[in-house]
Chain A
């Protein structure tokens, strides 16, 4: 098939799918008495056009991007890690714990936070890694189960002062950590009047690094080989145990880092520099979705993360239109489902064409 026609086919499918998703959303909004156009306007204003919203959107996208990058690394190694939500929580817990315990000047503490967060996330993924490479437990199951364990562990820690609880908290209703001091926070960069969190640039830099490493380095080559053919990899000296484990740890580290930048970057609706119950706000799951929607490629993940981030920041403006803000979750879900359709359809069409199957002529 001619390349131009193929591009056209792809584009057409994507446009159609997105249109259907938005259409269904609009119908849903109308059906409950809302004004769908107003909702979409609010979304756009809340995420992009409103003053300062750009920055918030990028700030929301940053942790999603980081989680997605980690997912991409483990996916290339042939591992199915769906526990980012849990790795994010544990990573942040580590960051909070060591951040407040180890004193030091602002920037130094910030680095401590980021490092501790990465280590925490890596360790949590490492548990699943050990289970996989020593006991053969499928990581798709262990990482999933560890998510709930992680949320319980952090809930426990947040209830105890010797762990994470702020020492001046009143009553058991608000189990939160202390708030991060100003000089320990991730700075924002002022571009064209927008406050853009540095976490976003961190994410982009990492995206470039990951893309380069996977495509152009020996490590990336070996990782890809491991993912596609573990037997060939074993022959070549690339052991599942060490390489696969490293990929898992990296994946967890990214998730932990994501949580840490949420904590230290303040950002949009991220609990104001405190570690609270429900902190992760589904960023882990969303980051996973970003990676999958971006077909496991690092550079496209940037754009996809921004799109998802936009949905998040946009949703806060939706409430003012009289429609329940939760509708953005619905729009997000529908969009993801819609975006899954084009690759699936193209895949099937390609196979049909390749087989050139027509019924026999009698």
Chain B
């Protein structure tokens, strides 16, 4: 039983036209977790709706229900006044619901037109598809070569293909799911402007799903805020401000810098002297990590790292800003011994480390919180205890045989210290939430007392509480003298944590500045590839 959320839209339900989408009482449970709890949501044509909530609030699940990837446990869906059941993406498409996906919707080896044609029920007509791509391109300013291979495109262009793919079906409801991580701040603005075109000219409903306050404030007409699976507030954007939204998202007053950053508020003007000091002190000493002219060739033959050079000093947090897809992944992989350099070198503590030699980086004292923990951070099928000693099981073994008792004791110690919520050391890793899995990674990496810790997208997918914990820990580590390399596509995070900021573009560092000197416009230009 939930109370009806306060409705400040000022729209009288009786006189309004039939909404395009009316969700009532949508509930979805995954085991013990309630992802959506009796959610009510109304989407109208001609409006841009924002669905705002921190990671884990339930907005993704709600959209997956609308798009047919997940079946709800309870509640009803009405499309244009008619009750409907959405069993799969094809059904959703037939009802006029389209989503521009973040990942996992384009097939790389196929061409643009083949991808756009994917998933429809009708006869395949390449000519017609290509023509339509041209039409949409002209209409919305989203030009693309229909015969290009999707795998060769940049992230921004791939998103363009996603948008075209969505618009081709002529949807009445267009959902954008966290679209801006692959875009520079400028491109984001352009994208939001195009929402207006799509909506105003054609009477569609546009939904922007995001965890970033300022985006939602800038681009939408109405905002629905979700928290822990419930709708907690619904209001007109013109009546909203950052503080109210933040409070609704998190459930209390939000005052800490970190929290505000986590909610997507970029604050560049804050003059905070405490930021400047630590960085300055360590800069005089030798860098702990030094990368010089690193070049690495990717699978397609193009360089993923292109003459990249950077230094990180003890106790400093160097933030690498940049739009996703500019080599950040490769940088993280390089420091995880997963990438071989074709030229250039990496030194830790003055010693050159061989790249791609298994375990070399770890042995040299490089700790890594990887971008995708499921790839190289944790092993889901192993237990928590095993994951906590993943890199060096020898430490809990006697002459090659694992000492179960020692393993368990060590695990319990770390579980307590890092407050990891799990059923115990023997719990399988897959039973932990994302935030707790990240804590396991953090606990393990710190337990090796690294000289440098690489944190790649460390707070992605975490809720505000978990984000706060992670950032506190990173700051604490820096205070103890660990050099921290923070790689993040979320500018807010960089601005919150970093002492120094470097911008990465197409595999190279294109600009550097101290945090105190940071300027949003300049950062944005650098991120977009313009010379500083």
| A adjacent to B, CB under 8 Å | yes
Which of A's residues lie within 8 Å of B, judged by CB?
Answer: 216-219, 221-222, 224-225, 228-229, 231-239, 354-362
Chain A residues contacting B85 (CB-CB under 8 Å) are: 359-360, 362
Chain B residues contacting A222 (CB-CB under 8 Å) are: 393
CB of B337 within 8 A of chain A? yes
Q: How far is the CA of A22 from the CA of B394 in the complex (A)?
A: 49
From B336, B360, B397, A218 is in contact (CB under 8 Å) with: B397
Chain A residues contacting B397 (CB-CB under 8 Å) are: 217-218
Q: Given A219-B400, A358-B71 in contact, is the A234-B379 Cβ separation under 8 Å?
A: no
B 66-86 contacts with A by CB, 8 A: 71-77, 83, 85
User: Are B30 and A356 interface neighbours, CB within 8 A?
Assistant: yes
User: Are A361 and B76 interface neighbours, CB within 8 A?
Assistant: yes
Q: Given A229-B376, A354-B30 in contact, is the A361-B74 Cβ separation under 8 Å?
A: yes
Shortest distance between the CB of B174 and any CB in chain A (Å): 23
Shortest distance between the CB of A286 and any CB in chain B (Å): 28
Shortest distance between the CB of B453 and any CB in chain A (Å): 14
Which of B's residues lie within 8 Å of A, judged by CB?
Answer: 29-31, 71-77, 83, 85, 336-338, 358-363, 368, 375-382, 386, 390-394, 397, 400-402, 404
Chain B residues contacting A229 (CB-CB under 8 Å) are: 375-376, 378-379
From A228, A235, A356, B73 is in contact (CB under 8 Å) with: A356
From A221, A234, A358, A359, B402 is in contact (CB under 8 Å) with: A221
User: Are A237 and B402 interface neighbours, CB within 8 A?
Assistant: no
Please name 20 further chain A to chain B contacts, defined as beta carbons within 8 Å, in addition to the given A232-B378, A235-B338, A355-B71, sorted by A numbering: A216-B404, A218-B393, A218-B397, A218-B401, A219-B400, A232-B390, A234-B338, A234-B359, A235-B358, A235-B362, A236-B358, A237-B358, A237-B360, A239-B358, A239-B359, A356-B31, A360-B71, A360-B74, A360-B85, A361-B74
Q: Which 8 A-B pairs have the closest CB atoms?
A: A237-B359, A231-B376, A239-B358, A236-B391, A228-B379, A357-B71, A229-B379, A232-B376
Once A and B bind, how many residue pairs between them come within 8 Å at the CB atom? 102
Q: Given A217-B401, A362-B83 in contact, is the A238-B29 Cβ separation under 8 Å?
A: no
Chain B residues contacting A219 (CB-CB under 8 Å) are: 400
Q: How far is the CA of A360 from the CA of B65 in the complex (A)?
A: 10
Chain B residues contacting A236 (CB-CB under 8 Å) are: 358-359, 362, 390-392
User: Are B400 and A238 interface neighbours, CB within 8 A?
Assistant: no
User: Are B400 and A231 interface neighbours, CB within 8 A?
Assistant: no
Chain A residues contacting B402 (CB-CB under 8 Å) are: 216-218, 221
Shortest distance between the CB of B210 and any CB in chain A (Å): 26
Chain A residues contacting B362 (CB-CB under 8 Å) are: 235-237
27 contacting pairs across A/B (C-beta < 8 A): A216-B401, A217-B401, A218-B393, A218-B394, A218-B402, A221-B386, A225-B382, A228-B379, A228-B382, A232-B376, A232-B379, A232-B390, A234-B336, A234-B338, A234-B359, A235-B337, A235-B358, A235-B359, A235-B361, A235-B391, A236-B359, A236-B362, A237-B360, A238-B359, A354-B30, A360-B72, A360-B77
User: Are B76 and A360 interface neighbours, CB within 8 A?
Assistant: yes
Chain A residues contacting B76 (CB-CB under 8 Å) are: 360-362
Shortest distance between the CB of B59 and any CB in chain A (Å): 19
Chain B residues contacting A360 (CB-CB under 8 Å) are: 71-77, 85
Chain B residues contacting A358 (CB-CB under 8 Å) are: 71, 73
- Name the residue of chain A whose CB is nearest to the CB of B333: A231
Q: How far is the CA of A225 from the CA of B368 in the complex (A)?
A: 17
Q: Given A218-B401, A356-B30 in contact, is the A232-B359 Cβ separation under 8 Å?
A: no
- Name the residue of chain B whose CB is nearest to the CB of A234: B358
Q: How far is the CA of A359 from the CA of B73 in the complex (A)?
A: 7
Chain A residues contacting B377 (CB-CB under 8 Å) are: 232
Interface centre among B72, B75, B393 (most CB of A within 10 A): B393
Interface centre among A222, A239, A361 (most CB of B within 10 A): A361
Q: How far is the CA of A236 from the CA of B375 in the complex (A)?
A: 13
- Name the residue of chain A whose CB is nearest to the CB of B376: A231
Chain A residues contacting B77 (CB-CB under 8 Å) are: 360
Shortest distance between the CB of A282 and any CB in chain B (Å): 32
User: Are A228 and B380 interface neighbours, CB within 8 A?
Assistant: yes
Shortest distance between the CB of B72 and any CB in chain A (Å): 5
User: Are A224 and B338 interface neighbours, CB within 8 A?
Assistant: no
Chain A residues contacting B394 (CB-CB under 8 Å) are: 218
Q: How far is the CA of A362 from the CA of B26 in the complex (A)?
A: 11
Shortest distance between the CB of B130 and any CB in chain A (Å): 35
